[in-house]
Chain A
Amino acid sequence: MHHVLSVLVENRSGVLSRVAGLFSRRGYSIDSIAVGPTEDPAVSRMVIVVQADEDGLEQITKQLHKLIDVLKIHDITGEARVERELALIKVQADAANRGDILQIVDIFRAKIVDVAEKSLIIEITGDTDKVDALIELLRTFGIQELVRTGRIAMVRGRRVEAAR
């Protein structure tokens, strides 16, 4: 099953390749990874979505802990959380079908962020299911380009962990 790991790391050069390398070396593939600084500029947070069974997850977590640059690991799969992904989708569009596309965009509360003669760029934010659903619908019009950020997530309510 999919697990969402929230990993706090020292913001040092090479840390992303250490973490990513560990997954591939141990035979686990990363579905998505999103990295950025936290409220503390010396610390970054990685939100990693990985496919693994319970034993696999335990092994990944323990191996990650052994990396000197890793501060904290939290499996937030079972937690009440807000999870978001952002996607930019360039769709073929002309005068004839623009209206249909606009309608779909509206239903999904997505946004048109660029309009060209023969295409539109749509921005959508939401959980992965929502992003997937929109992409599916837009396929019929012809998707020219697609960019997704991967998931970011935050546990609701209480503060999950302080970096130090």
Chain B
Amino acid sequence: MAAVRATKQDIYHGGDAAIVETQTTITGAEALIKSLQAEGVDVVFGYPGGAVLNIYDALHQSSLRHILTRHEQAAAHAADAYARVTGKPGVCIATSGPGATNLVTGLATAYMDSVPVVAITGQVASFLIGKDAFQEADITGITMPITKHNYLVKDAKDLPGIIKEAFYVASTGRPGPVLIDIPRDVAVGELSYKHPESVELSTYKPTYVGHIKQITSAVAAIDEASKPLLYVGGGAVAAGAHAEILELAEKADIPVTMTLMGLGAFPGEHQLSLGMLGMHGTAYANYSVNHCDLLIAVGARFDDRVTGDIQSFAPHARVIHIDIDPAEIGKNIHVDIPIVGDACNVLKEIVAKVAPKQHTHWVTKIKKWKQEHPLHYEIEESNCQAAGTSQRVHPQAVIDALYELTKGDAVVATDVGQHQMWAAHYYRFAQTRRFVTSGGLGTMGFGLPAAVGAQIGKPDATVLCIAGDGSIQMNIQELATVVQEKLPVKVFILNNQWLGMVRQWQELFFEKRYSHTSLESGPDFVKLAEAYGVKGMRIKNPSEMMAVLEAALAHPGPVVVDCWVKQDENVYPMVPAGKGLSEMLGLEGK
């Protein structure tokens, strides 16, 4: 308590004594809540503990909605998913020490996918910092490389300014997570509150408008190209550039391929859509990359899962790269025409100037690839090794059916593994902010808490969680949150009793030495769901699939559907790690 008194004394004996005496003061914790509300926050995801008791007390007395997750990691993922579906920053709160370190995976996930999240952590009192106090962890130090910026608040009166700045930094330029660490004495310290109108940050000025000279060069390159290809990533989603992409693609007749993070930025069913590219890209997308003479990258970062062997990536193409982050340009690949700016702004200008065109020859060629190598999953019965696997449903068929049944209009959150890739392949997203998946970090356990955040952000949407039987167990406890908050999320566990994606690599590259990837021991997900108070259902064979899926979607509350899927199914096509995009495995006829 000594620190509290000290803080108060500072205020009374400081220069503003007159002001303090005439204005009412509030605590740092109260200021935090007020600031969050001033930033338009209507919900926070969190978990209480000693160092945030004062914050939780202030929360209790406010109208701000709080969702109690059952693990801080889930709070971070839920805040992240909330941001992904709404476009507004998501907020999570955790206590000091273990609470804060539990956020780490969630923050790294948001950082890798450039998602605006503001994380609030409690910290031990200022005078205890550095003393290895109970539940002390240097969370600003720990999260430096996985946040866009972070703050350790030293004085309660700094809180309103820091919170304003944190939201500004998180949501502008290339978005990303920002963490604010609040020592206990700062939360109880008093201040006269005023929400700052604007942010003064001389060191941070994102470039939104593309350089006109670069835009002119890009337009000329597009006009000259005979085999152009749009390569669209998550940056296009963040910028809300989908309408401009559609316009450009249609006006100049340019096929479009998307990264995992870009799915939805161009309608999946559009005839110019090539789906996803890269390691598990479609054959026609990867062939198009190999053959194009102009690659127009929009908010994409030439990740190794996209490019494969970088030397042989898009070998015949000039490259236009539109990105708001100048550091992305030239990071992995030589760029001919870089344009730093907001994808939406830049594309608007390009669309206005580019000449209408038809690339009949190029588009016909791609159409032929599409016909020769479609995404497919009918395997020969003789390929089924394990006895009885022929009885099980194809995992891809489950996604296909869900796509049809939800008319492509659901929000789909996934975990990480084969099921994630099948969701990317077979749920042909028509809109942005519908596919909620951990791309950059590839975080197993993301799906269920993400479905929670997505459903809170979009209460009226049908929210599906496509999970693996491995991944779901990393955050299964969130079923309790689902029940407590009465969230009607539909969880589909594509249960192959394997860490399927790892098993696939072991089959293909480690001579079927299945080292520690079998998950035969269960659990019984139907019983587990019921234990949480969630409806549990099961699909054991193809004949019952449709009826169960329909019933699950029609059920008004949350459901877990344990889908027993073929166990030895692999995700194809596949470019082995380090190989070029033309070296795909698993193509029809190969």
A66 touches B203 (CB 8 A): no
B141 cross-chain contacts in A, Cβ below 8 A: 14, 17
B326 near A69: Cβ-Cβ < 8 Å: no
Interface membership of A107, Cβ < 8 A: no
The smallest beta-carbon distance between B126 and chain A, in angstroms, is 12
B547 sits at the interface (CB 8 A): no
Cβ-based interface call for B202 (8 A): yes
A58 CA to B338 CA, complexed, in Å: 14
A55 within 8 A of B: yes
Complex CA gap A14/B140 in Å reads: 9
- Per a CB cutoff under 8 Å, which of A22, A65, A66, A68 touches B201? A68
Enumerate A26-75 residues with CB–CB distance to B below 8 Å. Answer: 55, 58-59, 62-63, 65-71
Which B residues are CB-close (under 8 A) to A69? 203
**How far, in angstroms, from A70 to B204 measured CA to CA in the complex?**
9
Chain A residues with Cβ below 8 Å from B330 are: 55, 58-59
Point out the residue from B140, B202, B327 that lies within 8 Å of A66, measured CB to CB. Answer: B327
Cβ of B70 within 8 Å of any chain A Cβ, yes or no, is no
Question: Cβ of B149 < 8 Å from any Cβ of A?
Answer: yes
- Which of the listed residues A25, A62, A65 has the most CB atoms from chain B within 10 Å of its own CB? A62
Chain A residues near B327 (CB-CB < 8 A): 59, 62-63, 65-66
Bitwise interface map of B from 312 to 340 toward A, beta carbon under 8 Å scored 1, else 0: 00000000000001110011000000000
Give the docked Cα–Cα distance between A62 and B148 (Å): 14
> Across the interface, do A71 and B203 meet the contact criterion of CB distance under 8 Å?
yes
A18: CB under 8 A from chain B?
yes
Confirm or deny: A159 has a beta carbon within 8 angstroms of a beta carbon on chain B: no
Are A25 and B145 neighbours in the complex by a CB distance under 8 Å? yes
Contact with A along B104-133 (1 / 0, CB 8 A): 000000000000000000000000000000
Provide the residues of chain A in CB contact with B326, threshold 8 Å.
62, 65
B433 to chain A, nearest CB (A): 25
Say whether A10 contacts B331, CB under 8 Å.
Answer: no
Query: A97 at the A/B interface (Cβ < 8 Å)?
Result: no
Q: Does A21 contact B (CB under 8 A)?
A: yes
Q: Which residue of A lies closest to B203 (CB)?
A: A71
> Contact: B145 with A68, CB < 8 Å?
no
* Cβ–Cβ contact B144 & A18, under 8 A: yes
A62-B327, A63-B327 known; A71-B140 Cβ under 8 A: no
B272 sits at the interface (CB 8 A): no
Residues in A with CB closer than 8 Å to B144 are 14, 17-18, 21
Closest to A8 in B: B203
User: Is there contact, CB below 8 Å, between B325 and A66?
Assistant: yes
Q: Shortest Cβ distance from B340 into chain A, in angstroms? A: 10
* Residues 58 to 97 of chain A near chain B (Cβ within 8 Å): 58-59, 62-63, 65-71
Q: Does A164 contact B (CB under 8 A)?
A: yes
A13 within 8 A of B: yes
Give chain B residues whose Cβ lies under 8 Å from the Cβ of A22: 145
In-complex Cβ contact of B152 among A13, A55, A59, A70 (8 A): A13
Query: What's the Cα separation between A55 and B169 when bound, in Å?
Result: 27
Chain A hits for B204, CB < 8 A: 68
The answer to whether A68 touches B140 (Cβ under 8 A) is no
Supplied contacts A58-B330, A66-B327, 12 more A-B pairs, CB within 8 Å: A10-B203, A13-B152, A18-B144, A21-B144, A59-B330, A62-B326, A65-B326, A67-B149, A68-B201, A68-B203, A69-B203, A70-B203
A contacts, CB < 8 Å to B? 10, 13-14, 17-18, 21-22, 25, 55, 58-59, 62-63, 65-71, 164
Q: Can you report 28 residue pairs joining A to B where beta carbons are below 8 Å apart? A: A10-B203, A13-B152, A14-B140, A14-B144, A14-B152, A17-B141, A17-B144, A18-B144, A21-B144, A21-B145, A25-B145, A55-B330, A58-B330, A59-B327, A59-B330, A59-B331, A62-B326, A62-B327, A65-B327, A67-B149, A68-B148, A68-B169, A68-B201, A68-B203, A69-B203, A70-B203, A71-B202, A164-B202
List the 10 shortest-distance A-B pairs measured between CB atoms, nearest first. Answer: A62-B327, A68-B149, A25-B145, A63-B327, A62-B326, A68-B204, A71-B203, A21-B144, A68-B203, A66-B327
Which residue numbers of B lie inside 8 Å of A, CB to CB? 140-141, 144-145, 148-149, 152, 169, 201-204, 325-327, 330-331
